[in-house]
Amino acid sequence: MNIATVIVDVPAKQTDREFDYRIPEKWTNIIQPGMRVIVPFGPRMVQGFVVGVKDHSEWNKLRNMKEPMDLEPVLNEELLQLADWMTREAMCFKITALQAMLPAAMKAKYEKVLNIIEEKKDRLSPIVLAAMGHRSSITWKEVIEGEHGALFQKEVQQGHLELVYYVKNKLNKKTIKVIRPLHTGEKLAEIALTFTGNAKKQREVLQYFCAHPEPISLKELLEVTHTSNGTVKALVKKQLLAEENQEVYRNPYENRIFERSEPLSLTNEQALALHPIQENIRNKEHEVFLLYGVTGSGKTEVYLQAIASVIEKGEEAIMLVPEISLTPQTVKRFKERFGEQVAVMHSGLSIGEKYDEWRKIHRKEVKVVVGARSAIFAPFEHLGLIIIDEEHEASYKQEETPRYHARDVAIERAKSHRCPVILGSATPTLESFARAQKGVYKLLTMSRRMNESALPAVEIIDMREELRNGNRSMFSEMLLTKLTDRLEKREQTVLMLNKRGHSSFVMCRSCGYVIHCPNCDISLTYHRFNDIMKCHYCGHEEGMPNVCPECESEHIRFFGTGTQKVEEELAKILPEARVIRMDVDTTSKKGSHERLLNAFGEGKADILLGTQMIAKGLDFPNITLVGVLSADTMLHLPDFRSSEKTFQLLTQVSGRAGRHNLPGEVVIQTYTPEHYSIELAALQHYDSFYEREMLIRRQSHYPPYFYLVLITVSHEDVMKTVATTEKITHYLRMHLSPHSIIFGPVASPLSRINNRYRYQCLIKYKREPQLHHHLHTILEHYQQESIQHHLTISIDLNPQIMM
């Protein structure tokens, strides 16, 4: 087995295949599939993933691979296969799929060392110890250049040594000084006797180690022996003790103590939902469950107990939560139940922290990972369950290559592991609910809230009416009355401002002129903080004009409402109210999200004001009022899912009120009160919404009745863009079945970004067995032009964003 098949890290059409390399003698028997290697490629050295080893190659002249980058596979057999699947399904290069499965720390060129795992030190072979010069670590370079690769590998496989990446960022690298005796206790006791007189302190330290031969952190040692650093240094110099830097896991939750929580006794509904899942886990069967439970029905407890069954069987579980609701509160519920067995992965962690969490999974130190989208690639080998909470969230789809949907990856992995998937939501996507109706997924319903109270009463306020009655404020009379009432009762309110869509744009009140980005087809967003206007697509910034560029009127000002503006308004009308504001500006610092929520949870504010980010996952007993300031901003987006998204958001945010003993109320302000997604969200009638929306989807040939592919072409030259899109559209019309519907070429809703024009072609189809083939043909055809003339063609299968 001296030939390795390798996927090289050169993401291009021509190199998107396996290359054979000869394994040099020194590394035969070491190289395994799933390891990364350095190989020559043309004149360069590049990284690559070994996907197979074999005896023969059909190629005559093979080059030698240079050296391994790992001594253990970083991707297991199942993940390698998953990469094949993803390459097909997301239409990406295989190398892109492989890279997506590893934490960022391992992608970049970080320094690498092999560390001794302290407890296993005694088991190390003397040759390896000697090769390490009796230090506790050795650099990767030394391992590669030395002669004992195979021995090192064995130690790694047996868990005596560990390969660690040092992210070269002072903040991330966290080590502590550890002191270790270099002799046995008896020997030290003997030596200690020779220390007399003024070496008394040194003797005490040695005596400490006679009784406690384990390594101890320098800090602790100084404390327990009441000595100084100098004393310890002297003993190190005499080669009686050794001082070493030991890496500590950067534990983002280290200062937190989690009290253990016990499983709650389930309600009837919960038990009925849990039972079939547990049965599946027991029998190692694969099935997808759609857990459709209203907000506050206790879905999380069902997840927790399902996971407990998995752990009991010695298997592992992945729990996906949308980034936005991966709040400390959520993490806490899992840590309280499963303690140290939980790894957490989300974008708030530093590169180093994420890598540490990944390593805990790889080393099999944890049984559960709670994380956002990419945690779906957690390198578990005995998966017993995958849960996707809030399955309707758009963030489960990655919007850059590889454009995978975590739900599809979950189902694919669960099939290989023969384990169940739970998709949970109070507002499932139409796609998922339709599948449950057809019996593709198994539907589990929980229709009652834990506290048996009805869902909160919802009032819809017509803001046009308010205006007609002379109320020009952003608060309707009803909302203001209820806000005042809550302040008096010392209960809490959540105020949500729906920022998606166009807000805070600058408009001339005289002529209606709106200031646009000079590079993109989008209005600039006003930032009050530094009084500038900014483009959210290309980053263009400019100052506020004094007069309208069109008509020179002075009545030019920003329009729409930002959270800051609401905050100011609140300060005017309810000066005694304590407000916490949560938006991108106040939560950009690490940990600020948690701090603000904690403060609110501890009752340090009366009103939590924020964007969509507050709509989910909050569970505070004292919230009895939810106000939505502008329910309809999202309705007008050019996206066939805009009603569905509006319905979901309003339902979610309404669910924040009255989750415990106090009853809740919701006030929804809107300019389109008659819209069915607003009316039905107010009634919390998911089923009616589903039926209504399904009718529309059927009439207009949208999912779940049809599948979609969105092809977007972009180029600096508008003619070139149109012509290319035209050709693609034509090609598809010629080759796809007459049952498919092909739209285009048409300008994208965002028709220009960063001076590049964008046109699109939309395919709606039910069955197109040759579709992937045709799409590949298109990509191949334009490959050359893409590189030379910066023509971009992006193909999004099952797009979530239609812009």
Per the annotation, where are the binding residues for Zn(2+)? 508, 511, 517, 520, 535, 538, 548, 551
Contact, 306 vs 280, CB < 8 A?
Answer: no
Q: Where is the binding site, in residues?
A: 508, 511, 517, 520, 535, 538, 548, 551
Size of the site for Zn ion (CB under 5 A): 15
CA 478 to centroid of chain Cα atoms:
38
The Cβ-side half-sphere exposure at 219, using a 13 Å CA radius, reads 5
* Cα 425 from Cα 440, distance rounded (Å): 17
Residues 15-44 that bind Zn ion (CB under 5 A): none
Site for ligand ADP in 416-455 (CB under 6 A): 450
Considering beta carbons, is residue 140 or 433 the nearer one to ligand ADP? 433
Answer with the entry of Zn ion, ligand ADP, none that 295 interacts with (C-beta below 5 to 8 A by kind). ligand ADP
Under rule CB under 6 A, how many of the chain's residues touch ligand ADP?
A: 15
Partner touching 293 among Zn ion, ligand ADP, none, CB below 5 to 8 Å by kind: ligand ADP
Q: How far is the CB of 423 from ligand ADP (least distance, A)?
A: 13
CB under 5 to 8 A by kind: which of ligand ADP, Zn ion, none does 538 bind? Zn ion
Binding mask 479-508 for Zn ion (x = CB under 5 A): -----------------------------x
- Binding to ligand ADP by residue 787, rule CB under 6 A? no
CB 293 → ligand ADP: shortest distance, Å? Answer: 5
- Tell me the closest approach of the beta carbon of residue 195 to ligand ADP, in angstroms: 60
Nearer to ligand ADP, 523 or 648 (CB): 648
Q: Which amino acid is at 772?
A: H
Q: Judged by CB under 6 A, does residue 639 bind ligand ADP? A: no
If residue 792 lies in a helix (H) or strand (E), which one and from where to where?
strand 792-797
**Contact (CB, 8 A) for 800 and 404:** no
Instruction: Find the binder of ligand ADP among 18, 243, 569, 619 (CB under 6 A).
Output: 619
Q: Residue 227, SS3?
A: coil
Choose the binding region for Zn ion from 111-119, 518-526, 612-620, 639-647 (rule: CB under 5 A): 518-526
The CB-of-487 to ligand ADP minimum distance in angstroms stands at 25
Residues in contact with ligand ADP, shown as a per-residue x/- string from 250 to 289 under the rule CB under 6 A: --------------x-xx--x-------------------
**CA-to-CA distance for 429 and 645, rounded, in angstroms?**
9
Smaller CB distance to ligand ADP: residue 293 or 799?
293
The CB-of-534 to Zn ion minimum distance in angstroms stands at 9
Which residue, chain included where needed, has tokens 């989208």?
373
Task: Tell me which of 150, 224, 440, 511 binds Zn ion, using CB under 5 A.
Answer: 511
- Residue (of 700, 699, 722) closest to 639 by Cα position: 700
Q: What are phi and psi of 798, to 5 degrees?
A: 50, 60
Beta strands 137-139; 161-166: pairing state: unpaired
Q: How far is the CB of 509 from Zn ion (least distance, A)?
A: 8
CB of 659 closer than 8 Å to CB of 451: yes
Burial code of 764-794, b = ≥16 C-beta within 10 A, e = fewer?
Answer: bbeebeebeebbeebbeebeeebeeeebebb
Bridge partners (DSSP) listed for residue 319: 370, 387
Residue 127: its H or E element: helix 126-131
295, 493, 523, 729: residue in contact with ligand ADP (rule CB under 6 A) = 295
Q: Which residues pair with 580 in a beta bridge?
A: 608
Q: Quick one: which of 166, 249, 505, 537 contacts Zn ion (CB under 5 A)?
A: 537
Using CB atoms within 10 Å of the CB of residue 604, give its burial: 0 to 12 exposed, 13 to 18 middle, 19+ buried.
exposed
d(CA 286, CA 272): 19
User: Which tokens in the block code for residue 59?
Assistant: 């190629």
Q: Which residues bind ligand ADP (CB under 6 A)?
A: 264, 266-267, 270, 293, 295-301, 450, 619, 659
